[in-house]
Amino acid sequence: MIDVERIKDRVDCRDLIERDLGRPKYRNNTHSKYKCPLHNEEKGYSLAVYEDHWHCFGKCGRGGDAISWLQEYHGLSFQEACERLSVGDLPQLDQARRPPQPKVQPVSEPPSAEWQQAARKVAYMAMNILWGQEGKRAWEYLEKQRGLTEATIVDAGLGYIPGEYHEWKTIEGLNVPCGITIPWMTYSGAIWGIKVRRAAGQQRYHQVAGGNIKGSLYMGDAIKPGLPIMITEGEFDALIAQQAAEGRISAVAIGSASNKRINPRWFPKFMTAPSILIRMDDDQAGQGAAEQIAGLSQASQLIQVPQGKDVNDFYLEAGHQAVHGWINDLIGGNGV
């Protein structure tokens, strides 16, 4: 039998990795630093290697011990890596035999600070317009056809950019579609993007150019540790769920079924959730997304709405108390 702990004790990760990557950029008594080969790092030196472990502080965020290094870098199985380490038969460094780069989904970052600054101005400007005369119709739509309360609209920072449904405007140097603005941000945190819902047209949803909605999760920054999470497809569904739950869950949205590969950035937040309720649209794309997300955590559960085609519909048809009770049942609460 292979004694994993003994293998780990015997191998100094710094030597092991130096053998693969050559002389480190930097080495002191505790660690060495390299360009991380696991995400083909170009600019910095994010891979830090210590005696008993290694960690990439950059994009891929990978890390582990000597065994996992052989798995990640040389594409060995756990078993193979242990065997080779225990007999000292390390993989050869023949470049041609390097395994293909592992398919790592890099940990996503918000857009640049400059973009965020401009986008925040656009979002606030749109909020002001929504509150004024020009925003009246959009406001009515949000209240009557989406069931959102004033408090939810304010908390979500929803806004409105007036104009024809096909129009784009240049605001703060950004290319902005006209319509209802749904900022992907928190007041204290980053702004990842601004989704815009147009009043008409083939493609209803667009986004302000330069955002990184694809790498983000709507309201993901606002997830409260320890609370159940509901993941919906659309932003309005998440807002309604949040409103109906009255603080009992954190609701988030992927924004579109094509965003089903949730970025690893959010995984630590999922870990503390006692349950994760997944509610995607009833089409094929939605169901594919639901299955993909359900694979993330054992606490996940696919849910259906008792009435209507989505959470938003259910809320409009059955009312606040019905949706509140439904969510409460789902999370096993006993309050009202």
Footprint of Zn ion (CB under 5 A): 36, 38-39, 56, 58, 60
What minimum distance in Å lies between the beta carbon of 13 and Zn ion?
A: 15
Cβ of residue 59: shortest distance to Zn ion, in angstroms?
6
**Shortest spacing between CB 328 and Zn ion, in angstroms:** 42
At closest approach, how far in Å is the CB of 268 from Zn ion?
A: 17
SS (H, E, C) the chain: CCCHHHHHHHCCHHHHHHHHHCCCCEECCCEEEECCHHHCCCCCCCEEEECCCEEECCCCCCEECHHHHHHHHHCCCHHHHHHHHHHCCCCCCCHHHCCCCCCCCCCCCCCCHHHHHHHHHHHHHHHHHHHCHHHHHHHHHHHHHCCCCHHHHHHHCCEEECCCCCCEEEECCEEEECEEEEEEECCCCCEEEEEEECCCCCCCEEECCCCCHHHCCECHHHCCCCCCEEEECCHHHHHHHHHHHCCCCEEEECCCHHHCCCCHHHHHHHHCCCCEEEECCCCHHHHHHHHHHHCCCCCEEECCCCCCCCHHHHHHHHCHHHHHHHHHHHCCCCCC
Which of 44, 268 has the CB closer to Zn ion? 44
Shortest Å distance, C-beta 24 to Zn ion: 15
Smallest gap, in angstroms, from Cβ of residue 60 to Zn ion?
A: 3
Min. distance of Cβ 18 from Zn ion in angstroms? 17
Q: Whose Cβ is closer to Zn ion: residue 101's or residue 292's?
A: 101
Residue closer to Zn ion, measured from CB, 23 or 43: 43
| Shortest separation between residue 49's beta carbon and Zn ion, angstroms | 12
CB-nearer residue toward Zn ion: 61 or 193: 61
268 or 274, CB closer to Zn ion? 268
* Rounded Cα gap, residues 148 and 312, in angstroms: 9
CB nearer Zn ion, residue 73 or residue 115: 73
For Zn ion, give the closer residue by CB, 56 or 229: 56
Which residue bears the tokens 């080779």?
A: 84
**Do the Cβ atoms of 227 and 275 come closer than 8 Å?**
no
Instruction: Between 14 and 279, name the residue whose CB sits nearer to Zn ion.
Output: 14
